[in-house]
Amino acid sequence: MASAPLARSVGEAVAPSPRRPAPMLRAVVRRADVVRWLGRTGAVIPLAALVFILVVLLIESLPAIRYNGLHFFTTTVWNEGVSYNALPVHSGGVYHMSGAAFGALPEIVGTLLTSLIALIVAVPVSIGAALTIVERLPRRLASLVGIFLELLAGIPSVIVGLFGALTFGPFIAHHITPVIARNVPDVPVLSFFRGQPGSGEGLLTSGLVLGIMIIPIIASTTRDLVRQVPILPREGAIALGMSDAQCARRVTLPWVGPGIVGAVVLGLGRALGETMAVAMTCGVALSTVPGNIYTTMTTIAATMFNYLDTAFLDGTGFAVRTIAELGLVLLVITMVVNIAARWLVRRVSGIALPVGRGV
Amino acid sequence: MSTQADPAQPAEAAGPVRGRVDQAVVTAPHAATAGPVALTTAGLTLGFGTRTILSDVCVDVRRGAVTALIGPTGSGKTTLLRTFNRMNDRVSGYHRKGDVLLDGRSIWHPGVEVMELRRRIGMLFQRPNPFPMSIMENVVAGARAHRLVGKAGMKDVAEKHLTAVGLWGAVKDRLKDSPFRLSGGQQQLLCLARALAVTPEVLLLDEPTSSLDPAATQAIEELVRTLVPDITVIIVTHNLAQALRVADRTIFLNQGRMVENGETRQLFEHPAEEETAHYVAGRFG
Ligand SMILES: Nc1ncnc2c1ncn2[C@@H]1O[C@H](COP(=O)(O)OP(=O)(O)OP(=O)(O)O)[C@@H](O)[C@H]1O
Ligand SMILES: [Mg+2]
């Protein structure tokens, strides 16, 4: 976009010339045109892609939206209907197998809960790690840790899922959760931590695995942000006799607060949509809203993945439409979270930073 | 930088301070020079890595007086100043011999809590460095960290210290505003108010006016005179006229050595050392 005024001024400079513009000048003008054109296209592509995906999902899921109605958001059944020796039923303009009923409440609740657990774990750890890397570690060690952080971010989710299902889940289920499950008092909120600890597949394992996956995302972004905080205000805080923690909380982090919210949203987006690691550790309970933090459950992404094979067996195609509707819901949740975070940033960050003041 | 670019702002910065001139003049410089010693360095030698920055520095800083620290660039003034509140302790490769005594006690004594030491020895930097919080929160940030004031008392404390630096009139209607919208001079005054709010005994000023215009500089200088004798002030400056205006005593550093330490007028007019005479003469040209 920035090239547009430039290109125009080049054009004006050339136009009034009485002689033919030199070939080189003409080439410059033409190149500026190309740049402008490319810039405009580039700016529009993300928006167009998003609208396109939304529209396609909407069209694909339209029959499901019509038949499932609002019950989709309030019920917990997950049943494609009778598929053997049965004819499709036609109701409300939509063909489906008899007895088909879909409610995505467990998926929606599961998605939000796993991501919430992931954030509760990952945000403090990531911010702490970022501050430590920038302010405590010697430079060599800091860059080494940074490299590992980026490697960690690149681990395929199926590997993390395997680790969660084989090692991490069983470990916490045998050694950690039984103690918590037995000793937590039976009061509101905390009672969510009571119950059968299970075998290590379920909400807690999935949430923690997600947490592990988004730590490198949030931590490396936050580290880059913290690095940009100028030394002068930080030294000012130290010279006032503030502790490192006070300096971080009152000066360093607020300085890049909006950026950190952005980093958290990035991680949250990943957690909301993460499929493989959750599908491998959640226990796939398609029709129960988790009653405690140890029960097997599912998320939107995990159900879409796990259920797709079965859905294709539905000759009416209605089950696949329902999966498309699930996808639409996930996309909307992700977008709403994104917009909400932006709004939050604008609300919270009241203090204008010194931009271009040179003081 | 922006202060100098915009001629309208400095006047605004200095405005509220103007009323204090008479008051400032009453406490004439060079009057109270005799007092007990607040800070002493004993054979202080320090450096970073293989370099030695300060060698065998022995100075006394009188309590309740303004002491100027002068010397050519790179002579170690900032390093010495930052040693007093232990800001150098965490610089990588830092090593030290000798000692600094505050009220006769080593600042590295195991019983000395470094955060409390920094509360007692405040610092104002070469360039203003407000925190990313409102103007009022800026003033009380240190005081809150040291639990000198609760949430309820914030406004009173802010008013008291903003008034002390002559900034209250200019900011009283925008206490919730960003400090970065203030002019450079006003920001420096804000930082001074912030440093005063933790009730320091010693205040270290590292070229506090080097980024300010003459009016704002004058405001700060007048303020410095009002701080003594309650607070012991050490001010680094390249401006010898400024040293003459504000300082009761002056220390001349050259290449990491303390060359001369005495009453300001004496040091400028009848320097004991050739080096001092040379520097002072050269600088006044
Ligand atoms: N962290 C550091 N590591 C290595 N050398 C340093 C460090 N800080 C300062 N020095 C060196 O110490 C010497 C003295 O620096 P200092 O900042 O104390 O000088 P100064 O007298 O304040 O100079 P100026 O008047 O230019 O501010 C300089 O040669 C500088 O390069
Ligand atoms: Mg200096």
Whole-number pLDDT of residue A354? 61
Which residues does A275 contact at the CB level (< 8 Å), separation at least 6?
Answer: A157, A301, A302, A304, A305
pLDDT digits (tens, 9 = 90+) for A170-201: 999 999 888 888 888 888 888 888 888 888 89
Q: Which of B3, B145, B184 is opposite residue A240, by nearest beta carbon?
A: B145
Residues B143 and A242 sit within 8 Å (Cβ to Cβ): no
Whole-number pLDDT of residue B211? 82
Whole-number pLDDT of residue A351? 63
| Contact between chains at A242 and B123 (C-beta distance less than 8 A) | no
A234, A349, A351: which to substitute to probe chain B, counting the most B Cβ within 10 Å?
A351
The answer to whether residue B1 scores a pLDDT higher than 70 is: no
Confidence of residue B91 (pLDDT cuts 50, 70, 90): confident
Whole-number pLDDT of residue A353? 65
| Contact between chains at A353 and B180 (C-beta distance less than 8 A) | yes
Confidence of residue A299 (pLDDT cuts 50, 70, 90): very high
Rounded to an integer, the average pLDDT of A46-74 is: 92
- CB neighbourhood size of A139 (10 A): 8
Nearest CA to ligand 1 atom 9: B79
Residue written as token pair 């439409």: A321
| Contact between chains at A239 and B127 (C-beta distance less than 8 A) | no
Rounded to an integer, the average pLDDT of A286-310 is: 92
Of these ranges, A254-263, B109-118, B211-220, the one predicted with the greatest mean pLDDT is B109-118
The answer to whether residue A81 scores a pLDDT higher than 50 is: yes
Nearest CA to ligand 1 atom 17: B78
Within A69-168, where are the H helices?
A: 105-135, 139-153, 157-163
Q: So where are chain B's domains?
A: 2-31+62-83+115-284
Which residues does A144 contact at the CB level (< 8 Å), separation at least 6?
Answer: none
Polymer length in residues for chain B: 285
**Residue B60, token pair as written in the block:** 């006394």
Instruction: Return mean pLDDT, chain A.
Output: 86
B9, B82, B94, B129: which to substitute to probe chain A, counting the most A Cβ within 10 Å?
B129
Q: So where are chain A's domains?
A: 3-59, 105-348
Whole-angstrom distance, CA of residue A21 vs CA of residue A89:
73
Cα–Cα distance list, A298 to A109, A113, A282, B204 (Å): 9, 10, 6, 61
* Substitution site in B50, B53, B82, B253 for ligand 1 pocket (most atoms within 8 Å of beta carbon): B53
Question: What are residue B168's phi and psi, to 5 degrees?
Answer: -60, -45
Whole-number pLDDT of residue A326? 95
Q: Is the dihedral of CA A203, A207, A213, A214 positive or negative?
A: positive
Whole-number pLDDT of residue A355? 53
Whole-angstrom distance, CA of residue B121 vs CA of residue B82:
10
Q: Give the Cα-Cα-Cα angle A246, A248, A252 (nearest 5 degrees).
A: 135
**Residue B46, token pair as written in the block:** 């320090």
Whole-number pLDDT of residue A231? 92
Whole-number pLDDT of residue B11? 41
Tell how far the Cα of B77 is from the centroid of ligand 2, in angstroms. 6
Whole-angstrom distance, CA of residue B255 vs CA of residue A17:
63
**Residue B249, token pair as written in the block:** 């005593």
B85, B87, B131: which to substitute to probe chain A, counting the most A Cβ within 10 Å?
B131
What pTM was estimated for this model as a whole? 0.79
**Can you tell me the ipTM of this complex?**
0.83
pLDDT digits (tens, 9 = 90+) for B96-116: 999 999 998 999 999 999 999
Higher-pLDDT residue of A22, B39:
B39
With the CA atoms of A181, A184, A187 and A190 taken in that order, what torsion angle do they form, in degrees rounded to the nearest 10? -70
Whole-number pLDDT of residue A9? 42
Residues A198 and A295 sit within 8 Å (Cβ to Cβ): yes
Question: Taking CB atoms and an 8 Å cutoff, what residues of chain B touch A248?
Answer: none
The answer to whether residue A341 scores a pLDDT higher than 70 is: yes
The answer to whether residue B244 scores a pLDDT higher than 70 is: yes
Residues with CB under 6 A from ligand 1: B 48, 51, 53, 71, 73-79, 91
Question: What are residue A95's phi and psi, to 5 degrees?
Answer: -85, 135
**Residue B182, token pair as written in the block:** 């203030």
Percent of chain A with pLDDT over 90: 54
| Contact between chains at A354 and B125 (C-beta distance less than 8 A) | no
Tell how far the Cα of B99 is from the centroid of ligand 1, in angstroms. 19
B78-97 residues labelled b (16+ CB within 10 A) or e (exposed): bbbbbbbbbbbeeeeeeeee
Rounded to an integer, the average pLDDT of B206-231 is: 89
Which residues does A120 contact at the CB level (< 8 Å), separation at least 6?
Answer: A211
Q: Which helix (H) or strand (E) element contains residue A68?
A: helix A23-68
| Contact between chains at A350 and B178 (C-beta distance less than 8 A) | yes
Whole-number pLDDT of residue A203? 94
The answer to whether residue B131 scores a pLDDT higher than 50 is: yes
Residue written as token pair 């400056």: B237
Instruction: Return mean pLDDT, chain B.
Output: 86
Q: Is the peptide bond before B229 cis (omega within 30 degrees of 0)?
A: yes
| Contact between chains at A233 and B181 (C-beta distance less than 8 A) | no
The answer to whether residue A309 scores a pLDDT higher than 60 is: yes
Which residues does A285 contact at the CB level (< 8 Å), separation at least 6?
Answer: A106, A295, A296, A297, A298
Whole-number pLDDT of residue A7? 40
DSSP letters for A306-321: HHHHHHHT-TTSHHHH
Confidence of residue A258 (pLDDT cuts 50, 70, 90): confident
B109 class by beta-carbon count within 10 Å (0-12 exposed, 13-18 middle, 19+ buried): exposed
Whole-number pLDDT of residue A29? 67
Rounded to an integer, the average pLDDT of B9-28 is: 39
Whole-number pLDDT of residue B67? 96
The answer to whether residue B3 scores a pLDDT higher than 90 is: no
Whole-number pLDDT of residue B122? 95
What's domain B2-31+62-83+115-284's superfamily in CATH? P-loop containing nucleotide triphosphate hydrolases (3.40.50.300)
Higher-pLDDT residue of A97, A123:
A123
Question: What are residue B105's phi and psi, to 5 degrees?
Answer: -120, 135
Topology of the domain comprising A105-348? MetI-like fold (1.10.3720)
The answer to whether residue A305 scores a pLDDT higher than 50 is: yes
Higher-pLDDT residue of A93, A261:
A261
Tell how far the Cα of B48 is from the centroid of ligand 1, in angstroms. 10
Rounded to an integer, the average pLDDT of A91-98 is: 82
Whole-angstrom distance, CA of residue B67 vs CA of residue A233:
25
The answer to whether residue B17 scores a pLDDT higher than 50 is: no
Instruction: Name the residue among A155, A156, A192 with its Cα closest to residue A177.
Output: A192
**Residue A121, token pair as written in the block:** 């774990």
The answer to whether residue A83 scores a pLDDT higher than 80 is: no
DSSP letters for B65-104: SEEEEE-STTSSHHHHHHHHTTTTTTSTTEEEEEEEEETT
Tell how far the Cα of A236 is from the centroid of ligand 1, in angstroms. 18
Whole-number pLDDT of residue A19? 57
Rounded to an integer, the average pLDDT of B118-144 is: 94
Whole-number pLDDT of residue B33? 45
pLDDT digits (tens, 9 = 90+) for B135-185: 999 999 999 999 999 889 999 999 999 999 989 999 999 999 899 999 888
Whole-number pLDDT of residue B2? 40
